[in-house]
Amino acid sequence: MDKHKQSSGASVNPVEAIIDKQKPFVYLHAHVINREFLTKALDAKKSLEVDMSLAADGSVFIGHPLSFYQFKGLPPPDNLPLDDVLQAMKDAGLYLVLDVKDVRALPKAQETIQNFGANNVLLHAWADALLFKPYPPEIIVEPHWALEDLPLGEIEKVKATTGVPVVVSARGLTQKRLRSEGSEITQKIIDTIKGKAEAVNFQLPNGEAPSIVIMQKLLDEGILTWFNVDCVPAELRPPIYLGASDKLDSVSDPAGF
């Protein structure tokens, strides 16, 4: 057994089993993790995504960078303390998705992965190597992206150390760009992340997924496509994929993998 995988919990990471089992895996996405939401997630005994950002004092908290809320004109969410949520999840055996939004939070993420065991965690981050600049005019650059876009090499280091599966996100893509540059963009994604990440998020406007043709080309290279299933009708999804949902009823049971 891979030394990274030795831990209590799942015998195989669900994300790494998607292709072999030929069925998708969908985890629970969270906007706010307060006591009520956490209790529902714990009772469901499935999964939960936890955002990781860095506070001014150097501590890691649950949420986006503060510049995200300032830009959106929103108050920072009243999330529970990170360590409290992580401990409750580990005690309950939930599958953990870490969405790292600041490179300085990666050490905490690595520590957490090693604590949970790599079979029980998925790591997500935006990758600087998948910024498709110049961005088209319909994409508005947001100030927090400067913190969220992590060096792919730093993500690779965490994967190499822990064995955790990884999903990376791109920026600057639209359906229009995919129609005109789809082959080139798809090949760049393959060349950039093959062997370095299990899945990619195109981050298209309105949460849309790329075409089945593009997703199949990636799958032929062993790369899954990620999307939020709440935004993509079933008829536009490939047979297998990595997904997220805000709805507990749409979330997969990791025990089934």
Label each residue of 12-28 as H, E or C. CCHHHHHHHHCCCEEEE
Q: How confident is the model at residue 130 (pLDDT cuts 50, 70, 90)?
A: very high
Whole-prediction pTM value? 0.94
Q: Is the pLDDT of residue 1 over 50?
A: no
Residues 27-37 have a mean pLDDT of 95
- The dihedral sign for the CA sequence 97, 103, 105, 109: positive
Q: Is the pLDDT of residue 30 over 70?
A: yes
Cross-strand pairs, 27: 244
Residues 58-75 have a mean pLDDT of 95
In three-state secondary structure terms, 158 is helix
CATH of domain 21-256: 3.20.20.190
In three-state secondary structure terms, 81 is coil
Q: How confident is the model at residue 10 (pLDDT cuts 50, 70, 90)?
A: low
Q: Is the pLDDT of residue 177 over 80?
A: yes
Running DSSP on this structure, what letter comes out for residue 192? Answer: H
Q: Are 186 and 225 in contact (CB under 8 A)?
A: no
Residues 116-132 have a mean pLDDT of 98
| Pick from 179, 175, 178, 159: nearest CA to 167 | 159
- In degrees and rounded to multiples of 5, residue 170 shows phi and psi of -105, 165
Q: Locate the domains of the chain by residue range.
A: 21-256
Q: How confident is the model at residue 250 (pLDDT cuts 50, 70, 90)?
A: very high
Q: Is the pLDDT of residue 249 over 50?
A: yes
pLDDT in tens, 192-247: 999 999 999 999 999 999 999 999 999 999 999 999 999 999 999 999 999 999 99
Q: How confident is the model at residue 256 (pLDDT cuts 50, 70, 90)?
A: confident
| Pick from 208, 198, 203: nearest CA to 241 | 198
Q: Percent of the chain, pLDDT > 70?
A: 96
Q: At what angle do helices 82-92 and 106-116 cross, to 10 degrees?
A: 20
Q: What is the pLDDT of residue 6?
A: 45
pLDDT in tens, 95-121: 999 999 999 999 999 999 999 999 999
